[in-house]
Structure 1
Amino acid sequence: MTHTLSRRRMALGTAALLATPFLTGCAAQRGLGGDGRALSVGALFAGKVDDRGFMESGWRGLERARTELGVQTRFIDNIQPRKELLAAELTRLASGGAGLVIAHGGQNNEACAEVAARFPDTKFVVTQGAVTGANLASYDVLQEESAYLGGVLAALTTRTGVVGHMSGIRVRPGLKGRAAYVAGVRATDPKVRVLTNFSGHQDDNALSKRVALAQMAQGADVIFTMLNAGRDGVTQACREKGTRQIGNVIDWVTVDPSVFVASAVADVSIGVYQAVRDVRAGTFPAGQVRKVGLADPQAVRLTMAADVPAAVKARIEQVADDIAKGRRHVPEAYDGPEFATPA
């Protein structure tokens, strides 16, 4: 099997190649782990670290830890999200001397739990995860909370009464995000119809464009996308049809305000960075799931384009405050109809 290291990552020269063992003798004092030894961190990304989305955000958290905390890092990326493949790469990182192994994304839940049990002296983390153990913790940036706000916005701004949702693989964070978005739409205007689709692929632009065009043909004029590299296909379709898009993870409004009416920001880099910082400080939360939501607007928020009416923005701010203060519940499950992926 061939493992791909992004060209940009290689050019930056910020980590050793996968086959190179971690260095342990030259770490700065600030990069020491809680036991006083140099902290080495290995990370697994089941996707491309230059996807301008979820995976890249996690990689940026790893980079921040390397530069700010002085730890040594390496990573494996572009691995298909199949349990046996993920487990093999997590095993490789743990066997290679990592004191902390980070599996970025909830698709790693099962694989990481299994591998962590075989390496009791290594600490493991799943970001956007839901598994725990004696040497295993999860960090969960609650993207479903900003997704709920995206649903409120979609319901308030649609002109056709039909809005869309698109994602790829059925991992728990994506399913929770879909449930929250739909709930936000329905709580705001139950007459608005929601078309929701999981296409099976996060990075296929031809596929995502087909799905987006099919939803638009059914009337969708606002589409919430929870995709990675495959987001570009939706953006192309939006430009062709004049449809607005709600992004996620990063602030897509600043990237392309003519297409993106909003972005359900969930800075998942924080989970990666916080995990390294906790291990380095000797405060690793073994057996726990640490959650970060709208109460921390640097981590979770909805950004909106300048052309969103002031009254709509005020409504969103009130809902966000209600969620942050526990006055409004964000559902995590959806049991309604789904939009078929076009051939």
Structure 2
Amino acid sequence: MRSWMKTTAGLMLAATLVLTGCGSKPAQEGAAGDKPAAEKPSGSKKAEGFKVGMVTDIGGVNDKSFNQSAWEGLKKVEADTGASVKYLQSKSDADFIPNLNQYIKDKYNLTWGIGFLMGDAIKTVATQNPDAKLAIIDNVVEAPNVESVTFAEHEGAYLVGVVAGLTTKTNNIGFVGGLDIPVIKRFEAGFREGVKAVNPNAKLTINYTGAFDKPDLGKAAAATIYNDGADIVFHAAGATGNGVFNEAKDRVKSGKKVWVIGVDKDQSLEFGDDVTLTSMIKRVDQAVIRVTTDLIDGKFQGGKVVTLGLKDDGVGLPETSTKNVPADVLKKVDEYKAKIISGEIKVPEK
């Protein structure tokens, strides 16, 4: 299950998590020339002629977090190996199967489904096309031609909960989620337990928006929580979370100091250090790179499930946390991280 993780720990530790921003129009296909930018392959490379397709969930490839990180991973594969990579965006779950089947029809070597919501569609397409190879992030699909990658989000979220609990000035903290699904509940549970461990008197307000692609809902949810006295909000809401940052920026401009804890990527690079306290990063890009490269090298692990947690450096805090998180707080984070890795602390998933 973790056969490749130990050998790649060094790679993950050193990995650059954020490349450049991407942009695309909804429901369009992305190809080699699309942003986020990456150097085009030059010369003869081992995977020239190899084709990899990616289908986003409804958050879209330009969500500045989850889908974007996966696409950046594929762009890195393209630059390093010469493989051809493309994506298709899904406007709704009705697009999942047609988009996946487009790559199957075009005989792509590997087809990615990004996100928990893609689970049923991946299962259906994999069953109907047993010779095709597929992979999914954030869900487990039991099929011999599908490799599944999940993350221990609750472990990383616990650590940013420690940051929030030790940093809040108002003892009032918020969490904004997207859809109420298991992967987001893991974020919520870990964050709740981290806050509680260091600041049991802190109030935690939970708000699920019901969407991953509605920044306006994220902004409204954050406004409600900040109005109630919170000074820190952690989001796990994809592109909806962009609205949380927008609300925080509006308040900072008006002289009210509030913070956002980002998700999936180091979101300070997108939204700035003035509002980003830290981020709970998920190395989706590295998971995509590893599975895709394994297939190129003839080592595809169909039927396997890989779970990345703190001990695998699959989740955690970015190095930029030192800009806004005090050194003594980061020291506490390291202490709790060690306890989670050793098993002394078992973080609940819900």
Q: Judge same fold: TM > 0.5, yes or no.
A: yes
Match of 2:306, SS? strand
Residues in 2 aligned to 1:211 and 1:5: alpha-carbon distance in whole angstroms: 32
Tell me the residue number matched to 1:121.
Answer: 131
Instruction: Select the residue among 169, 174, 183 that pairs with 2:179.
Output: 169
Match of 2:317, SS? strand
Give structure 1 stretches of 5+ with no counterpart.
Answer: 15-26, 33-37, 334-343
Letter in 2 for 1:217: N
Match of 2:303, SS? coil
Residues in 2 aligned to 1:59 and 1:156: alpha-carbon distance in whole angstroms: 34
Tell me the residue number matched to 1:23.
Answer: none
Q: Assess if the C-alpha contact under 8 Å between 2:64 and 2:238 holds in 1.
A: yes
Q: Assess if the C-alpha contact under 8 Å between 1:6 and 1:50 holds in 2.
A: no
1:31-59 deviation digits (Å, cap 9, x = unpaired)? 17xxxxx5321110123212211111110
Measure how far apart 1:9 and its partner are. Answer: 5.0
Letter in 1 for 2:257: G
Residues in 1 aligned to 2:208 and 2:303: alpha-carbon distance in whole angstroms: 31
- Considering fraction of residues, name the structure with more helix: 2
Of stretches 270-279 and 3-12 in structure 1, the one that deviates more from structure 2 is 3-12
Letter in 1 for 2:282: A
Match of 2:80, SS? helix
Residues in 2 aligned to 1:167 and 1:252: alpha-carbon distance in whole angstroms: 16
Tell me the residue number matched to 1:260.
Answer: 276
Measure how far apart 1:254 and its partner are. Answer: 4.3
1:3 aligns with 2:27: yes
Instruction: Select the residue among 78, 95, 118 that pairs with 1:108.
Output: 118
Residues in 1 aligned to 2:31 and 2:106: alpha-carbon distance in whole angstroms: 23
Residues in 1 aligned to 2:29 and 2:105: alpha-carbon distance in whole angstroms: 19
Residues in 1 aligned to 2:268 and 2:296: alpha-carbon distance in whole angstroms: 35
1:332 aligns with 2:349: yes
Q: Assess if the C-alpha contact under 8 Å between 2:137 and 2:148 holds in 1.
A: yes
Give structure 2 stretches of 5+ with no counterpart.
Answer: 1-25
1:53 aligns with 2:53: no
TM-score calculated relative to the size of structure 1: 0.84
Letter in 2 for 1:42: G
Query: Could you say if the C-alpha distance between residues 203 and 242 of structure 1 is closer, same or farther in structure 2, counting changes exceeding 3 Å?
Result: farther
Residues in 2 aligned to 1:172 and 1:285: alpha-carbon distance in whole angstroms: 24
Residues in 1 aligned to 2:27 and 2:64: alpha-carbon distance in whole angstroms: 20
Tell me the residue number matched to 1:65.
Answer: 77
Letter in 2 for 1:3: A
Letter in 2 for 1:57: S
Tell me the residue number matched to 2:261.
Answer: 246
Q: CA RMSD in A?
A: 2.4
Residues in 2 aligned to 1:39 and 1:136: alpha-carbon distance in whole angstroms: 18
Residues in 2 aligned to 1:171 and 1:125: alpha-carbon distance in whole angstroms: 20
Percent identity, aligned pairs only, is 26
Tell me the residue number matched to 2:55.
Answer: 44
Tell me the residue number matched to 1:21.
Answer: none
Residues in 1 aligned to 2:181 and 2:110: alpha-carbon distance in whole angstroms: 23
Q: Assess if the C-alpha contact under 8 Å between 1:87 and 1:115 holds in 2.
A: yes
